[in-house]
Amino acid sequence: MVVFIDVDNTLIIYRTGSIHPYWSIAGKPLQPNIKLIEKLERFEGDIVVWSGRGREYARRIAKMVLPETLRYQVDSKLSGFHQIKPGDIVVDDQKEYFTSMKEHGVHIFGPFEDWEYPSKKGGN
């Protein structure tokens, strides 16, 4: 099972006027989506962090916000959605792009939605 994590407004949240911006890009304050990151730390499948802004952007942001111990891959969304398989999870603030995949058994969630995942511990 793979979870595909979008970057902008999913892994990181842009907040104009935020009181405690984590850092900023081009003057826009933003902060990591802590709850999502904590969930990824507990997730036992594969993690792909990807962005429509490209693989290097995804890598840059992932390095900034994800723990060094977390294993993940980075990719560009332009690589294509064909790599998403039934049973995989997609977390994205623009869920509408993935709606058609629901009928193929892909689980689609917004950045702040809770999602369940099977644990390898205890077997299947």
One-letter amino acid of 116: E
Q: What is the DSSP string of 37-57?
A: HHHHHH--SEEEEEETT-HHH
Contact 117, 89 (CB under 8 A): yes
Nearer CB in complex with Mg ion: 44/112:
112
- Closest approach of Mg ion to the CB of residue 4, in Å: 12
Residues that bind Mg ion (CB under 5 A): 6, 8-9, 93
Nearer CB in complex with Mg ion: 6/88:
6
Nearer CB in complex with Mg ion: 78/120:
78
Question: Distance between CA 63 and CA 77 in Å, rounded?
Answer: 18
- Closest approach of Mg ion to the CB of residue 59, in Å: 16
Return the residue nearest Mg ion (CB atom).
8
- Closest approach of Mg ion to the CB of residue 7, in Å: 6
One-letter amino acid of 79: S
- Closest approach of Mg ion to the CB of residue 52, in Å: 7
Residue 97, both tokens: 């792009």
